[in-house]
Amino acid sequence: MGKPTGFLEFERKSTPYRKPEERVQTWEEFNIALGEEDLRTQGARCMDCGIPFCQTGNGVDKGSMGCPVYNLIPEWNDLVYRGKWKEALHRLHKTNNFPEFTGRVCPAPCEGSCVLGIIDPPVAIKSIEKAIIDRGFEEGWVLPEPPEQRSGKKVAIVGSGPAGLAAAAQLNKAGHKITVYERADRIGGLLTYGIPNMKLEKEVVQRRVKLLAAEGIEFVTGTEIGKDIEAGELQEQYDAVILAGGATRPRDLPIDGREYHGIHFAMDFLHADTKSLLDSNHKDGKYISAEGKHVIVIGGGDTGTDCVGTALRHKCKSLTQFEIMPKPPEQRADANPWPQWPNIYKLDYGQEEARKKFGDDPRQYEIMTQKFVDDGKGNVKELHTVQITWEKGNNGKMAPNEVPGTKKVWKADLVLLAMGFLGPENPVLEQLGVERDERSNARAEHEVYTTNVEGVFAAGDMRRGQSLIVWAINEGRGVARECDRWLMGDTELP
């Protein structure tokens, strides 16, 4: 695909970020669009590799590879190279309902599985994806496409994150009447209130929501199923119910001093910040401010990075991030071969910004927090840590061991817990009697999505646990297919 010798002639160029010292002054997206000629050149680097591992989306041993929504990557790379943008958009929408989301915030497992990446930097797949959909909106090619006829069936979807929205979009195409319930005041789930504005501007989310509404989907906000409306009422009013409420129960840190003021879950911090930004440009003061504070983020991943980036924009006094795991290697380890996602050391946007402001990567590795200490008035003022090593125990499992003489005290006015999630918190599962798996998620098989309750389906993080947006879209599309099959006896949905 692309130019046969393009991968030999052109170097990788991906969507650049604005300079760290500039972007921390604003809440606007930090991406800078590549020019058309650069994008066509990047499309030309696609190799015609024979087996496009980038679009496979399958598991490999303990890792994963490729695009979970099976994006037709070589095809739209070739179309971009040839200047056929509208055709590229058509191919992109064949497999992905929301490329404007994945093109901005997906970590791009497709690039980790790019064949060219074995010997050179991989094709800039994510940058090309974003450019295709952004051009589609700019040119007016992305328009509402309501179904020509309705089936007479009604489906309720609980949760308006990427899984719920993808399911709604697909089932609406099949002609069913869809109502999406969201407990927050805005549609989008973690797309709206979990991902900061500088990574994903909320106008981008609402633009797609408006399109879905124009196609006939009904959205109900400020309504928590299981609390404001009994879950059983949905079973009575709808032909099927899809649970896509996410895995939003955060992992806590139950150590001495956890009750002190100034210690917050990461999502509480991020949610309040974005809501205040959208409501009043932060003028209402209804958010957890990091301004002038010594901030410590406990935990890594995207959520930890987003806390780092947000605290920097608040103008924090200092910033440190704790990671309990070892520092990743600079190159792939033997146990992490291509085409798996490369678990290697890298600076994400937040760490890059922190290094620019404070002089170094804010992350401290193999460190464990032992207790919090207050100022005598119930406000956290410091925390105590110890370095650890990971060693295999008698049971064969890796366990942390304290390194003698490594205890340390850190100043802390604001502590943000970003240690992942334990599963769904929504009482809807209990009210419906949905069985849970060993991780407390709704029990439903992947690619089947049926729960033990007739007519009730589960998908996304509520079913699989905390995961990527692209996997949520995969599951939303999949649950729509199986729900349509259950309703109609057959389905044409992919």
Predicted pLDDT of residue 176 = 98
CA distance 467 to 264: 22
User: Distances from the Cα of 231 to the Cαs of 165, 177, 222, 434, in angstroms?
Assistant: 19, 19, 15, 11
Predicted pLDDT of residue 389 = 96
CATH, domain range 6-138: 1.10.1060.10
Predicted pLDDT of residue 61 = 45
Please state at what angle helix 162-173 crosses helix 202-214, rounded to 10 degrees.
Answer: 20
CATH superfamily to which 154-248+422-488 belongs: FAD/NAD(P)-binding domain (3.50.50.60)
pLDDT tens per residue across all 494 residues of the chain: 668 899 999 999 999 999 999 999 999 999 999 999 999 999 999 998 989 999 987 654 445 689 999 999 999 999 999 999 999 999 999 999 999 999 999 999 999 999 999 999 999 999 999 999 999 999 999 999 999 999 999 999 999 999 999 999 999 999 999 999 999 999 999 999 999 999 999 999 999 999 999 999 999 999 999 999 999 999 999 999 999 999 999 999 999 999 999 999 999 999 999 999 999 999 999 999 999 999 999 999 999 999 999 999 999 999 999 999 999 999 999 989 999 889 999 999 999 999 999 999 999 999 999 999 999 999 999 999 999 999 988 888 999 999 999 999 999 999 999 999 999 987 899 999 999 999 999 999 999 999 999 999 999 999 999 999 999 999 999 999 999 999 999 999 99
Domain range 252-419, CATH class: alpha beta
Residue 185 CB: number of other CB atoms within 10 A? 12
- Give the pTM: 0.95
Give the DSSP letter of residue 222: S
Predicted pLDDT of residue 63 = 54
Secondary structure E strands in 354-482: 363-365, 367-374, 380-392, 398-402, 408-411, 414-417, 421-423, 456-458
CA distance 92 to 86: 10
Would you say the C-alpha torsion 322, 323, 324, 326 has a positive or negative sign?
negative
Domain ranges of the chain: 6-138, 154-248+422-488, 252-419
CATH topology of 6-138 equal to that of 154-248+422-488?
no
User: Distances from the Cα of 467 to the Cαs of 162, 251, 254, 421, 422, in angstroms?
Assistant: 11, 15, 24, 10, 12
Predicted pLDDT of residue 60 = 47
Burial pattern 298-309, b for ≥16 Cβ within 10 A else e, equals bbbebbbbbbbb
Please state at what angle helix 73-81 crosses helix 85-95, rounded to 10 degrees.
Answer: 170
Plot region of 401 (φ>0 → left; ψ -120 to 50 → alpha; else → beta): beta
